[in-house]
Amino acid sequence: MIAAGTEILRIDPLDYELKLSQAIADLKSSQTQLARLDQEETNLKQTLSIEMNRLKLAENEYQRRVDLNKRGLTSQSDVDTQQQNMLSQKKLVQEIENQLALMPDERGVSEALVKVNQAKADEAQRSLEKPALYCR
């Protein structure tokens, strides 16, 4: 017969402490990844704005070269070179827009990972708080 309230088994908390530490590290890592993603999106939006301005300048310069060529004031080679510059700039703008289009999906994955890691940390904390069994 064992008296009620007597501790009959104590589980070494080391495993639970390690799981909690790992869960917290995973949570912080996923939160950092989400913050990095937010910063990357901000940077991409700023870069897109700059590159769109550069594209507008390249388009204007291309049109200027076409007009000069029509008047015989520049060579077709100059026109072709400027057209290549303009097309390269369009490609760069398109690549940035594509990266931005993927951001919502990446954010969703990162947010879900934060929630999963938060749940793991909460579970590890609960497990750590119950290391002993008592007789009732």
Tokens 């700039």 — which residue?
Answer: 89
Task: Specify the pLDDT at position 133.
Answer: 54
Average pLDDT, rounded, for the chain: 92
Q: List, in order of start, the domains of the chain with CATH numbers.
A: 7-128 (1.10.287.1700)
- pLDDT single digits (tens) 47-69: 999 999 999 999 999 999 999 99
Q: How far is CA 17 from the centre of its chain?
A: 30
Nearest-angstrom CA–CA distance, 60 and 47: 20
Tokens 């077709």 — which residue?
Answer: 76
- pLDDT single digits (tens) 91-117: 999 999 999 999 999 999 999 999 999
Diameter over CA atoms, the chain: 110
- pLDDT single digits (tens) 118-136: 999 999 988 878 765 555 5
Amino acid (1-letter code) at residue 75: S
Task: Specify the pLDDT at position 41.
Answer: 98
Handedness of CA 61, 63, 66, 72 (dihedral sign): negative
